[in-house]
């Protein structure tokens, strides 16, 4: 097992381009990073891998439409008769010089991006209005955000004034050879049994368009291979992990199953 500078295990991540070097340069130069790409293609795993590699703690926040700036920065809580300040994950990451990862950042409410702005330019500060503190981010602190450009509607895409504050890295599904190796490793299923599933995934991804919002993710491929490895018949695993999660429409489902039959029999 690979270990990082602090002896912590580094989660497995198979690079598909220059993303590791890019991330290291960004960290060294105190630049925030934006990861773009479809669901389940390895963004979260990449961040976990890089944080461990750099020997920094990782604070991950899954953003959703109720997430407010206070959820990130912190708030006063009532304890006994007193009010005590509790840091949010962003504040904790700044204090520790950690990596803070905001997953699906476009889902968050508008006031969240306002908090991020002073952290993403050369001031690198986090003003905490409530406590009156202004934290200066230490050199090791790094802000990483991700979003999926595919399914968001126009209202939810990142504003240029926000996105132009990040170095951006585009992610996509790995090439077939690489994806086969990843799925085999993560599921324990033999390469020669994984290869046809990857072929099917790519055939299904080619159908992405009006009827399908998203193609089969690497994550779903791993689920499918895991079910087969556990003893479920391949047809059942394909239906449960590569067809049903993609659509609720019977006609589309039938088309996906036809593709499966033609591709892997
Ligand atoms: N390049 C890769 N190296 C190793 N594992 C990967 C890679 N890409 C995808 N995976 C696997 O796919 C799963 C889903 O990836 P994840 O990082 O959660 O996707 P995302 O954050 O892009 O939605 C991971 O848990 C991991 O098992
Ligand atoms: Mg993720």
pLDDT (tens, 9 = 90+) of the chain, 265 residues, equals: 688 887 779 999 999 999 999 999 999 999 999 999 998 999 999 999 999 999 999 999 999 989 999 999 999 999 888 999 999 999 999 999 999 999 988 888 888 888 999 999 899 999 998 899 999 999 999 999 998 887 655 556 778 888 889 999 999 999 999 999 999 999 999 999 999 999 999 999 998 876 788 889 999 999 999 999 999 999 999 999 999 999 999 999 999 999 999 999 8
Tell me what pLDDT residue 153 has.
53
Residue 204 CB partners (closer than 8 Å, separation 6+): 212, 215, 216, 242, 246, 256, 259, 260
Which ligand sits closest to the CA of 35?
1
User: If you ran DSSP here, which 8-state letter would residue 118 be given?
Assistant: G
Nearest CA to ligand 1 atom 4: 13
Residue 43 CB partners (closer than 8 Å, separation 6+): 35, 37, 103, 146, 171
Distance between CA atoms of residues 198 and 169, nearest Å: 24
192: tokens are 């020669």
Tell me what pLDDT residue 1 has.
66
- Substitution site in 219, 221, 241 for ligand 1 pocket (most atoms within 8 Å of beta carbon): 219
Tell me what pLDDT residue 107 has.
85
Helix axes of 19-28 and 43-54: crossing angle, nearest 10 degrees: 50
* Contact criterion met (CB below 8 Å) for 49 and 12: yes
Nearest CA to ligand 1 atom 10: 42
41 lines ligand 1 (CB under 6 A): yes
39 lines ligand 1 (CB under 6 A): yes
* Contact criterion met (CB below 8 Å) for 218 and 181: no
- The pTM for the full model equals 0.93
Tell me what pLDDT residue 242 has.
97
| Pick from 219, 224, 180, 202: nearest CA to 40 | 219
Nearest-atom number in ligand 1 for the CA of 171 is 22
Tell me what pLDDT residue 2 has.
81
Tell me what pLDDT residue 6 has.
76
Tell me what pLDDT residue 194 has.
98
Which ligand sits closest to the CA of 48?
1
């Amino acid at each position: 097992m690979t270990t990082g500078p602090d002896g912590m295990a580094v989660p497995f991540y198979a690079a598909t381009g220059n993303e590791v070097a890019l991330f290291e340069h960004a960290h060294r130069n105190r630049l925030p990073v934006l990861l773009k790409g479809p669901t389940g293609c390895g963004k979260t795993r990449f961040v976990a891998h890089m944080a461990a590699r750099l020997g920094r703690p990782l604070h991950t926040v899954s953003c959703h439409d109720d997430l407010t700036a206070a959820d990130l920065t912190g708030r006063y809580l009532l304890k006994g008769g007193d009010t005590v300040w509790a840091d949010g994950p962003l504040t904790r990451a700044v204090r520790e010089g950690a990596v803070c990862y905001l997953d699906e950042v476009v889902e968050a409410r508008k006031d969240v991006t306002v908090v991020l702005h002073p952290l993403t330019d050369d001031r690198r500060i986090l003003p905490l209005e409530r406590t009156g503190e202004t934290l200066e981010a230490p050199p090791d602190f790094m802000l990483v955000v991700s979003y999926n450009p595919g399914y968001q509607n126009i209202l939810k895409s990142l504003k240029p004034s926000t996105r132009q504050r990040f170095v951006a890295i585009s992610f996509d599904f790995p090439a077939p050879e690489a994806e086969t190796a990843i799925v085999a490793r993560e599921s324990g299923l033999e390469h020669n049994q994984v290869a046809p599933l990857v072929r099917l995934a790519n055939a299904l991804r080619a159908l992405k368009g009006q009827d399908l919002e998203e193609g089969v993710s690497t994550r779903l491929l791993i689920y499918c291979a895991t079910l087969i490895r556990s003893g479920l018949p391949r047809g059942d695993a394909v239906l449960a992990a590569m067809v049903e999660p993609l659509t609720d429409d019977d006609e589309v489902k039938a088309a996906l199953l036809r593709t499966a039959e033609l591709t892997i029999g």
